[in-house]
Amino acid sequence: MTPKEKAQELVDKHISYSFDLMPTKFAKNLALVSVDEIIYDMYNRHEIVSYDYWEQVKQEIEKL
C-alpha cells in the first residue's frame, strides 16, 4: 500500500468509526496521532526500517 493510500485509509476509518459524524479535519488529526504513536513505538523498539514510510503517510494525511 502506498503512503497516500494508507493516509486515506486511516482518515476514512476515523470518519467511519464516528458514523460519518466526524469532520474530515478532526479525522485527519486523529490519523496523525495514530501515525505518531506507530513511529514512537517503532523508535522505542529500534525498528527504524519503515520510519520513512510512516513519515510519508503523515505528509499525505496533511495533504488531504
Domains: count for the chain: 1
Res 50: pLDDT = 84
Position 4 confidence tier, pLDDT thresholds 50, 70, 90: very high
Confidence at residue 64, expressed as pLDDT on a 0 to 100 scale? 94
pTM score of the predicted model: 0.84
pLDDT digits (tens, 9 = 90+) for 10-57: 999 999 998 888 899 999 999 999 999 999 998 888 877 788 999 999
pLDDT value, residue 25: 94
Q: What is the pLDDT of residue 22?
A: 85
On whether the CB atoms of residues 55 and 4 are closer than 8 A, the answer is: no
What is the residue range of 41's domain?
A: 3-63
